Amino acid sequence: MGHAIHDELANRIGTLAMVRWDELPPTLVETALAEGEGRLAAGGALAVTTGVFTGRSVKDKFIVRDAVTEPHVWWDNSQSMAPEAFERLLADMLASTAARTLHGQHLLAGADARQQLRVSVITETAWHALFIRNVLIRPETPGEGADVTILHLPSFTADPARHGSRTGTVIALDMARKLVLIAGTAYAGEIKKSVFSLFNFHAPFADTLPMHCSANVGRDGDVALFFGLSGTGKTTLSNDPERLLIGDDEHGWTADGVFNLEGGCYAKTVKLSPTAEPQIHRATQSFGTVLENLELDDALVPLYDDISLTENTRAAYPLETLPAVAEGGVGGKPRTVVFLTADAFGVLPPIARLTPEQAVFHFLSGYTAKVAGTERGITEPTATFSACFGAPFMPLHPTVYGRLLEERLQASGARIYLLNTGWTGGAYGVGKRIDIATTRRLLNAALSGELEHAETRIEPLFGMAVPLRVEGVSPRALDPRANWADVTAYDAAASKLQDLFAANYRKFDAVQVAAE
């Protein structure tokens, strides 16, 4: 099939609508302002709002169930759409573009040329075109033709009876033909994550591990990966003035090394601090950056602490907006792999060394904890497990990615650490959050190799190797049990967390036994 389906689709759209291809940021910003799509913030960023949808619509995402996807997709975690329903949705969305002006971008996904996808995004608003241009890789010379086509029409309302959707909102992925249809939502993250979902389906068949992680590299070429769910410090800790950022969210790991899938960042901006995160803060003030759902004051300055629209405020900007970026978006084999968690139970140590087998366990678990007050009805810490630290974007069964990770870890000999950025001395509400200075000191010790030969103790419930001493950190701080006033209460909390891990992991045990 090759590029034929994408060329045909582009021609069909071109006969119906006028598509303005590959406009540059000044033109896109000018158009967005003229059309009333947003406001120009102080510093030059374009501030937009997304209406009802300020985050991903997980329950409205569908994968076409056909001969290609049927035997491979993790259907327990994915909703299916019949091929005929997808075709009706495509036909109706195309028909709705008649006599309209659309905006198209020819972009790339994958900094490794051997793994690269040519992506065409066609959308009805200039600001969405600017967003995806910021986030994906911008080719030096945009060319026609595509491996992936995304048609994004926020104003189109799907019909559940006709299109097989749940509501008027739909994100439909045809994995075999690499086509994506997005309707009924203006949240820009749906475009970005659709590219990632396509990559995550196809990459393992090319012996590439897709990863929802950030990555950076030291001055001597030592690559580090940072896996973690929202709120664990993934973006903050990977933006290090002493290291070069490879990427902040989506990567691939081949037998040769890692590469960024993207060419930009989509950073959370809630409570963004110019002191704690100066690089990101400066990027949000740059011309062409897209500020999503950020309120502005009377002087058009972004209000980072204002969550009246959503806590999920975002900024999308090209990687080159940052001062310290790895050239080409690639790096060698990782020397250090870090799993981040914000343990609100106050049980896990601030840092621990993992074996490759333990790393796969934590990778498949994808653990962090929500704290009281973050969501209605949550009155105590609640464990959150998201397989591979990104279950909504992983179409294949997690064990597929887990086996690839174990192979890569064994071949690379990477050091592996669990870094807890959560609570100590008690659960949330009793204990206190581990301070950022301690976390950075422990991370630096891990990245430098300082911890590799440190004397350790084996944590009794999870079997992790916990260092006894780290220069600049109190030995007591390394032992969470010693920081609880009531050690009996600690033991009970630790046992509860262990049970939650075990219950979550049983679904993977059954699959792994069947595969052996």
Average pLDDT over residues 377-381: 57
Residue pair 239/280 in contact by the 8 Å Cβ criterion: yes
Q: Categorize the per-residue pLDDT at 11 as very low, low, confident or very high, splitting at 50, 70 and 90.
A: confident
Per residue in 208-218, pLDDT (tens digit) is 999 999 999 99
Q: Where are the alpha helices (DSSP H) in 215-272?
A: 234-238
Instruction: Show Cβ contacts of residue 480 under 8 Å, excluding neighbours closer than 6 positions.
Output: 346, 347, 348, 349, 350, 424, 425, 490
The pLDDT of residue 143 is above 80: no
Q: Residue 477: its pLDDT value, please?
A: 95
The pLDDT of residue 363 is above 80: yes
Average pLDDT over residues 480-509: 93
Catalytic residue among 193, 202, 362, 397: 193
Catalytic residue among 212, 243, 281, 333: 212
- Which residue spans within 411-513 are E strands per DSSP? 415-420, 423-424, 432-433, 456-458, 465-467
The pLDDT of residue 145 is above 90: no
Q: Residue 510: its pLDDT value, please?
A: 57
The pLDDT of residue 372 is above 70: no
Q: pTM of whole model > 0.95?
A: no
Catalytic residue among 230, 286, 382, 456: 230
Q: Categorize the per-residue pLDDT at 495 as very low, low, confident or very high, splitting at 50, 70 and 90.
A: very high
Catalytic residue among 123, 149, 235, 254: 235
Told to judge if 56 belongs to the known catalytic residues of this protein, a careful annotator would answer yes
Between the alpha carbon of residue 134 and those of residues 199, 267, 320, the distances in Å are 19, 12, 10
Told to judge if 268 belongs to the known catalytic residues of this protein, a careful annotator would answer no
For the 4-37+55-206 domain, the top CATH level (class) is alpha beta
Grouping H, G, I as helix, E, B as strand and the rest as coil, residue 165 is coil
**Choice between 10 and 21, residue whose per-residue pLDDT is larger:** 21
Q: At what angle do helices 487-515 and 356-365 cross, to 10 degrees?
A: 90
The pLDDT of residue 371 is above 80: no
The pLDDT of residue 103 is above 80: yes
% of the chain at pLDDT higher than 90: 85
Told to judge if 212 belongs to the known catalytic residues of this protein, a careful annotator would answer yes
Residue pair 41/181 in contact by the 8 Å Cβ criterion: no
**Structure tokens of 227?**
């896996």
Catalytic residue among 6, 56, 103, 370: 56
Tell the residue number behind the tokens 């749906």, with chain if given.
190
Per residue in 426-475, pLDDT (tens digit) is 999 899 999 989 999 999 999 999 999 899 999 998 999 999 999 999 99
**Structure tokens of 176?**
């075999």
The pLDDT mean for the chain works out to 93
The pLDDT of residue 162 is above 80: yes
Per residue in 288-315, pLDDT (tens digit) is 999 999 999 999 999 999 999 998 999 9
The pLDDT of residue 370 is above 60: yes
Q: Categorize the per-residue pLDDT at 233 as very low, low, confident or very high, splitting at 50, 70 and 90.
A: confident
Per residue in 257-273, pLDDT (tens digit) is 999 999 999 999 998 98
Told to judge if 123 belongs to the known catalytic residues of this protein, a careful annotator would answer no
Told to judge if 235 belongs to the known catalytic residues of this protein, a careful annotator would answer yes
Question: How many whole angstroms separate alpha carbon 16 and alpha carbon 19?
Answer: 9
Told to judge if 193 belongs to the known catalytic residues of this protein, a careful annotator would answer yes
Average pLDDT over residues 320-349: 95
Q: Residue 513: its pLDDT value, please?
A: 37
| Pairing verdict, β 209-217 and 244-247 | antiparallel
The pLDDT of residue 377 is above 70: no
Instruction: Show Cβ contacts of residue 365 under 8 Å, excluding neighbours closer than 6 positions.
Output: 385, 387, 501, 504, 505
Q: Categorize the per-residue pLDDT at 511 as very low, low, confident or very high, splitting at 50, 70 and 90.
A: low
Domain ranges in the chain with CATH number 3.40.449.10: 4-37+55-206
Instruction: Show Cβ contacts of residue 126 under 8 Å, excluding neighbours closer than 6 positions.
Output: 23, 27, 28, 29, 31, 32, 35, 37, 103
Q: Residue 375: its pLDDT value, please?
A: 42
Average pLDDT over residues 468-484: 95
Q: Categorize the per-residue pLDDT at 373 as very low, low, confident or very high, splitting at 50, 70 and 90.
A: very low
Q: Categorize the per-residue pLDDT at 380 as very low, low, confident or very high, splitting at 50, 70 and 90.
A: low
Question: How many whole angstroms separate alpha carbon 80 and alpha carbon 66?
Answer: 9
Told to judge if 424 belongs to the known catalytic residues of this protein, a careful annotator would answer no
Catalytic residue among 192, 234, 335, 362: 234
Domain ranges in the chain with CATH number 3.90.228.20: 209-253+333-515
Per mean pLDDT, which range of 42-56, 133-147, 361-375 is the poorest? Answer: 361-375
Q: Categorize the per-residue pLDDT at 8 as very low, low, confident or very high, splitting at 50, 70 and 90.
A: confident
Per residue in 26-84, pLDDT (tens digit) is 999 999 999 999 999 999 999 999 999 999 999 999 999 999 999 999 999 999 999 99
According to CATH, the topology of domain 209-253+333-515 is Phosphoenolpyruvate Carboxykinase; domain 3 (3.90.228)
Catalytic residue among 92, 147, 174, 249: 249
Told to judge if 163 belongs to the known catalytic residues of this protein, a careful annotator would answer no
Catalytic residue among 118, 314, 333, 370: 314
